[in-house]
Amino acid sequence: MVPTDDTAVAVTDTGGSGTAVLYLNGAYADQKHWRTVIADLGPGYRHISYDTRARGKSEQSADYSFEAALRDIDAVLAARGVERVILVGWSYGGILSWYWADRNPDRVIGVVTVDAVPYGLTGAAGAERIRKLFHRMRFLLPLVRPFGMAARMSAAQHAEVGIDANEYAAAAVPVLSRSTCPVRFVLATGDSLGSEKGEMEQVRTSLDPVLAANPNVTVSAKVASNHSKILRKDSPAVAAAVRETAAA
């Protein structure tokens, strides 16, 4: 367990002398979703994953904000003695990786983003849509928690995490456009929970201006699965993007 602010997070570190790879989870997920990707990459890397606050084996907190999640990256890397790292983030974790890399450019070898793009539901209408979604899901959340798909939070707290993340995602075009390290995207093509048919593919076009503006940002692969299944169904594509990033 690594102490951070008012809580502690559960960390797994394979150790070794290979390139350090830090895995950043989806908003309500735990670290076990990375098992297939880690297995595909194999022992040549130092794999570091952790459960964010109130997820998996980590402790609860009074602060589940995006900025708190960024501080947790600092805490994990400091505790494990890691100076330079590849960040691999899925969904919410992808958004975290962009901002942490932007604030710590000398410490990032590269970034691999799995199905996150610089788009968000913002403003009063966006917040209301997110709150309604989690209100409808309030009885489901405890049932999916053992599978690493929900946090030990109320439905309202889940919603506020989502609202916070959407605001940061929507503001991320300048962050990605000025990136000086390699940023590789692995994108799904299917819809996700709570999205309307075809909405996710339209959302993914928000990356186009960044691709046009910054040659450091590329799409490594676009795969057939959807947002929730991409780590399990298309782990080889994610692993390939990590290898490309390490080689670059």
DSSP code string of 70-103? HHHHHHHHHHHT--SEEEEEETHHHHHHHHHHHH
SS3 content of the chain, % helix, strand, coil (to 5): 45, 20, 35
Q: What's the average model confidence in pLDDT over 63-69?
A: 97
Residue 175 has a pLDDT of 97
Share of the chain above pLDDT 70, in %: 96
Given a cut of 60, whether residue 247 has pLDDT beyond it is yes
For residue 179, report the phi and psi dihedrals to the nearest 5 degrees: -60, 135
CB 23 within 8 A of CB 77: no
201 or 154, greater pLDDT: 154
Rounded Cα–Cα distance for residues 83 and 19 (Å): 11
Token representation of residue 226: 């959807």
Residue 193 has a pLDDT of 58
190 or 154, greater pLDDT: 154
Residue 194 — pLDDT band, cuts 50, 70, 90?
A: low
Residue 127 — pLDDT band, cuts 50, 70, 90?
A: very high
Torsion over CA: 174, 177, 181, 184 (sign): positive
Residue 202 has a pLDDT of 82
Given a cut of 80, whether residue 209 has pLDDT beyond it is yes
Residue 63 has a pLDDT of 96
Share of the chain above pLDDT 90, in %: 84
**Cα radius of gyration (the chain):** 17
Given a cut of 60, whether residue 232 has pLDDT beyond it is yes
The string of DSSP letters for 97-117 reads HHHHHHH-GGGEEEEEEES--
The string of DSSP letters for 34-52 reads GHHHHHHH-TTEEEEEEPP
Residue 3 has a pLDDT of 95
The domains of the chain, with CATH numbers, are 2-118+170-247 (3.40.50.1820)
Q: Which of 74, 66, 65, 69 lies closest to 51 in space, CA to CA? A: 69
- Listed in sequence order, the residues at least 6 apart from 83 whose beta carbon sits closer than 8 Å to its beta carbon are 77, 107
For residue 122, count CB atoms less than 10 angstroms from its CB and return exposed for 0-12, middle for 13-18, buried for 19 or more: middle
Residue 116 has a pLDDT of 93
The string of DSSP letters for 131-185 reads HHHHHHTTTTHHHHGGGTSS-SS-HHHHHHHHHHHHHHHHT-HHHHHT--S-EEE
Residue 205 has a pLDDT of 86
Given a cut of 90, whether residue 186 has pLDDT beyond it is yes
Given a cut of 80, whether residue 196 has pLDDT beyond it is no
Given a cut of 80, whether residue 190 has pLDDT beyond it is no
Given a cut of 90, whether residue 16 has pLDDT beyond it is no
Q: Which of 46, 51, 42, 58 lies closest to 21 in space, CA to CA? A: 46
Mapped onto helix, strand or coil, the DSSP state of residue 187 is strand
Question: What pLDDT digit, counting tens, does each position of 132-146 carry?
Answer: 999 999 999 999 999
Given a cut of 80, whether residue 197 has pLDDT beyond it is no
Residue 224 has a pLDDT of 87
